[in-house]
């Protein structure tokens, strides 16, 4: 019962695939109504269809969450349909694998806009709704590389480090209104993003995945395993948890 979300409304950004899709489906399975946001319309609608086929309630909203107008419009549509927002999973993210010398300014800006600015913008428009309701749960998707460095990933590491500190600062600011703000720090997960990293670095997928599995549990994660942590932080099971960075990484940060 502590994971029951019936009657709650959730927004998931980057919900067209990977961790976003798995999280949207799991939150819906727990009873939440889902708004799936993404620029990938086909993928986003497929996520919604999977939720509805399983008996859930969901809508797709096409939105570039790095843009204030899209964020404000999307939140407005959710409020118009369901009256408020109880859960926000800021999941949208991209990666560009390069050193500071190799990385273009445009790629730096794009990573920061999608990985950090989107979380600021979505939170900016959702937090007042949660304050009015007197409750809410916000989960940001950070990364193990937000807590330690990684090679040829300067923009990604910097952006995810910013997400970690955004989480802590927001938790302090909004806890008095019963709004919990936490983040997950996933390890390598079998998603299109991970496969794109192999392509960017020019490494065969099997070789890249084998290296990514070099952690105590000796494998990479499946998106559903990360989604389980999102459900926990969104639910009453985490009622006394805020400002936390939950590593879901197969022990990678342990050593």
Instruction: Name the residues annotated as catalytic.
Output: 156
Sign of CA dihedral 57, 67, 91, 62: positive
132's tokens: 């009015």
Contact 74, 118 (CB under 8 A): no
Contact 63, 38 (CB under 8 A): yes
- Quick one: angle between helices 118-133 and 68-82, nearest 10? 30
213's tokens: 């599995």
Task: State the Cα angle at 125 between 70 and 123, rounded to 5°.
Answer: 100
- Quick one: angle between helices 192-201 and 205-212, nearest 10? 110
The Cα 114–Cα 122 span in angstroms is 11
112's tokens: 């920061």
The Cα 47–Cα 57 span in angstroms is 11
> Which string of DSSP letters, residue by residue, matches 200-252?
HHT--HHHHHHHHT-STT-SPBPHHHHHHHHHHHHSGGGTT--S-EEEESTTG
């Amino acid at each position: 019962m502590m994971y029951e979300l019936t009657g709650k409304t959730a927004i998931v950004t980057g919900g067209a695939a990977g961790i976003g899709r798995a999280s949207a489906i799991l939150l819906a399975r727990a009873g939440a109504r889902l708004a799936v946001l993404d620029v990938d319309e086909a993928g986003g609608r497929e996520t919604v269809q999977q939720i509805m086929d399983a008996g859930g309630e969901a809508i797709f909203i096409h939105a570039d969450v790095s843009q204030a107008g899209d964020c404000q419009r999307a939140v407005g549509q959710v409020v118009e349909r369901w009256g408020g927002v109880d859960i926000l999973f800021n999941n949208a993210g991209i990666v560009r694998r390069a050193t500071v010398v190799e990385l273009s300014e445009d790629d730096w800006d794009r990573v920061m806009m999608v990985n950090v600015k989107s979380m600021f913008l979505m939170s900016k428009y959702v937090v007042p709704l949660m304050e009015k309701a007197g409750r809410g749960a916000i989960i940001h998707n950070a990364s193990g590389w937000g807590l330690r460095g990684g090679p040829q990933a300067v923009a990604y590491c910097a952006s995810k480090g910013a997400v970690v500190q955004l989480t802590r600062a927001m938790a302090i600011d909004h806890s008095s209104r019963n709004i919990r703000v936490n983040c997950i720090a996933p390890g390598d997960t079998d998603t299109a993003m991970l496969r794109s990293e192999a392509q960017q670095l020019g490494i065969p997928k099997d070789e890249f995945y084998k290296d990514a599995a070099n952690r105590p549990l000796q494998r990479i994660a499946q998106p559903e395993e990360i989604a389980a942590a999102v459900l926990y932080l969104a639910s009453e099971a985490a009622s006394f948890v805020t400002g936390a960075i939950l590593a879901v990484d197969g022990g990678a940060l342990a050593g």
